[in-house]
């Protein structure tokens, strides 16, 4: 590999959604950008459900629908509360989602990220694959002035380094820019890709053309741990997975694989996957700590974007859109400073945080700042007791067995009161409302 003599305007570490968004925006504005990715190709190390939220990408590549590898546009959302044999749910399906420019798509990240990376190169950035950044290079004042990699002999210099290195973020953590991630603020998710003919998927999920369905599930499927399961329809495959907070997993002896197998074999899920062929098994960490877990985001010569900055809205299962938006806003900040020929000092780069504060990213994370802790502290009730109570109430109500409806109502209320006490339920409701506001 050659040496780079002239410093770059910016180096981006990582080629996921946040890094690609950032590198693309800066290169498009004429900056001299180097992006470094450890995978053989962009996407080869990346794992997501995955749902793409069009709005965030539209603000970066408005015409993305013409060329990006998209699977299905989502017309139906199913939210399931599950016990061991049942699910009760809320489904929302609308023909309005069959619009000219759909709002959400299912995607396969390995393919999508590869496409996004090709756009970054088209925009003029230099992208190095199969190269792992090992450390940051700082000057005597502590300002970040470049990176070292496992390929180039001498350090590669830049005016600013954008850390889009994902949830594990070794470079930033080892350089002391932010604390190590704590086991109670990340979830471990495992996922499988199940292939089926597209007609089978369309018949099973009541779809036509490129319409898609997503299912998000919670309940006894996580065995009392804080977590959720999901099932997304792709063009010719189904993504199915489940994730729980790492510290919860560490306290049980349930393996992630066993949890996924049990979820796949749940009577509500099993028929949806029947006769499919599994072609990949993946695992990934998801930042779940929310607003309170966000680390320091800027300093002299550096900015953090995407999962490395814990930008995930766990309540709404949004992450890639926050990643792309933080990448875009970081790029806008760097472009503006570069044009004004201003230094990438801590004070100047703080503009990024100011801009983030005005965006949906910080507003949403702030709104739900109390939720992760609330769910985690009360996991027994939210992921066990309530799903079971609701299932049993549904069954009492729908089973016709000669018992009168007044007695059935009484039985349902009695069951709730005896299992979780009136005060307990009111307390949980109050805490949830307060955390939601």
Regarding 214 and contact with another protein (CB under 8 A), the answer is: no
Regarding 162 and contact with another protein (CB under 8 A), the answer is: no
Give min distance, CB of 226 to another protein, in A: 15
- Cβ atoms within 10 Å, residue 173: 17
Residue 308 sits at the vertex; the CA angle it makes with 303 and 313, to the nearest 5 degrees, is 115
Distance CA(306)–CA(165), nearest Å, equals 8
Site map 324..343 versus another protein, x via CB under 8 A: --------------------
One of 122, 139, 261, 342 touching another protein (CB under 8 A): 261
Stretch of 98-106, 115-123, 130-138, 328-336 contacting another protein, by CB under 8 A: 130-138
DSSP percent split of the chain into helix, strand, coil, nearest 5: 40, 25, 35
Stretch of 182-190, 303-311, 370-378, 408-416 contacting another protein, by CB under 8 A: 182-190
Distance CA(227)–CA(249), nearest Å, equals 10
Residue bearing tokens 């209320």 = 413
Which is nearer to another protein, 48 or 325 (by Cβ)? 48
Which is nearer to another protein, 26 or 246 (by Cβ)? 246
Regarding 20 and contact with another protein (CB under 8 A), the answer is: no
Regarding 108 and contact with another protein (CB under 8 A), the answer is: yes
One of 58, 135, 235, 280 touching another protein (CB under 8 A): 280
Residues 6+ away with beta carbon under 8 Å from 157:
4, 7, 8, 137, 145, 146
One of 120, 181, 303, 371 touching another protein (CB under 8 A): 181
One of 256, 295, 370, 424 touching another protein (CB under 8 A): 256
Q: Are 319 and 313 in contact (CB under 8 A)?
A: yes
Give residue 114's region: left, alpha or beta (phi > 0; psi -120 to 50).
alpha
One of 126, 170, 350, 411 touching another protein (CB under 8 A): 170
**How many amino acids of this chain bind another protein (CB under 8 A)?**
61
Site map 286..325 versus another protein, x via CB under 8 A: ----------------------------------------
Which among 187, 168, 266 has a CA at the least distance from the CA of 219? 266
Task: Determine the 3-state secondary structure of 204 from DSSP.
Answer: helix
Provide the edge-to-edge strand list for the sheet that holds 298-299.
Answer: 126-128, 33-36, 10-13, 161-163, 302-304, 298-299
Distance CA(99)–CA(94), nearest Å, equals 10
Which is nearer to another protein, 260 or 300 (by Cβ)? 260
**Residue ranges that bind another protein, judged by CB under 8 A:** 38-40, 43-48, 50, 84-85, 108-111, 113, 129-132, 149-151, 167-168, 170, 180-183, 186, 188, 190, 192-193, 223, 237, 246, 249-259, 261-262, 265, 278-285
């Amino acid at each position: 590999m050659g040496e780079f003599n002239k410093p770059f305007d910016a180096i981006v570490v990582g080629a996921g959604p946040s890094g690609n968004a950032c590198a693309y925006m800066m290169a498009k504005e004429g900056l001299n950008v180097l992006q470094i990715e450890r995978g053989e190709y962009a996407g080869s190390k990346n794992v997501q459900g995955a749902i793409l939220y069009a709005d965030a990408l539209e603000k970066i590549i408005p015409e993305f629908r013409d060329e990006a590898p998209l699977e299905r546009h989502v017309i139906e959302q199913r939210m399931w509360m599950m016990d061991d044999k049942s699910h009760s749910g809320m489904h929302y399906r609308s023909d309005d989602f069959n619009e000219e420019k759909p709002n959400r798509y299912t995607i396969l990240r390995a393919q999508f990220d590869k496409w996004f990376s090709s756009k970054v190169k088209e925009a003029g950035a230099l992208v190095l694959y199969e190269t792992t950044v090992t450390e940051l290079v700082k000057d005597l004042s502590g300002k970040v002035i470049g990176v070292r990699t496992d390929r180039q002999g001498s350090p590669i210099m830049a005016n600013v380094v954008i850390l889009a290195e994902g949830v594990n973020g070794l470079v930033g953590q080892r350089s002391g820019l932010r604390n190590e991630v704590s086991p109670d603020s990340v979830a471990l998710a495992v996922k499988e890709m199940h292939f089926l003919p597209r007609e089978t998927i369309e018949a099973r999920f009541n779809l036509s053309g490129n319409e898609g369905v997503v299912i998000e599930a919670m309940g006894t499927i996580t065995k009392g741990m804080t977590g959720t399961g999901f099932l997304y329809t792709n063009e010719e495959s189904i993504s199915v997975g489940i994730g729980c907070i790492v510290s919860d997993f560490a306290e049980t002896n349930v393996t992630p694989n066993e949890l996924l197998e049990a979820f796949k074999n749940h009577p509500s899920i099993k028929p949806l996957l029947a006769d499919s062929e599994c072609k990949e098994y993946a695992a990934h960490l998801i930042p779940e700590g929310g607003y309170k877990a966000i680390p320091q985001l800027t300093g002299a010569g550096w900015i953090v974007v995407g999962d490395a900055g814990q930008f995930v809205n766990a309540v709404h299962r949004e992450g890639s859109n926050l990643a792309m938006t933080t990448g875009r806003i970081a790029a806008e900040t760097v472009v503006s400073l570069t044009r004004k020929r201003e230094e990438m000092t801590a004070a100047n780069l703080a503009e990024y945080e100011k801009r983030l504060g005005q965006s949906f990213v910080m507003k949403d994370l702030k709104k739900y700042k109390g939720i992760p802790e609330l769910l985690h502290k009360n996991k027994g009730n939210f992921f066990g007791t309530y799903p079971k109570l609701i299932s049993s109430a549904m069954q009492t109500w729908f089973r016709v067995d000669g018992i009168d409806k007044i007695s059935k109502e009484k039985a349902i209320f009695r069951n709730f009161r005896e299992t979780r006490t009136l005060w307990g339920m009111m307390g949980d409701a109050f805490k949830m409302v307060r955390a939601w506001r």
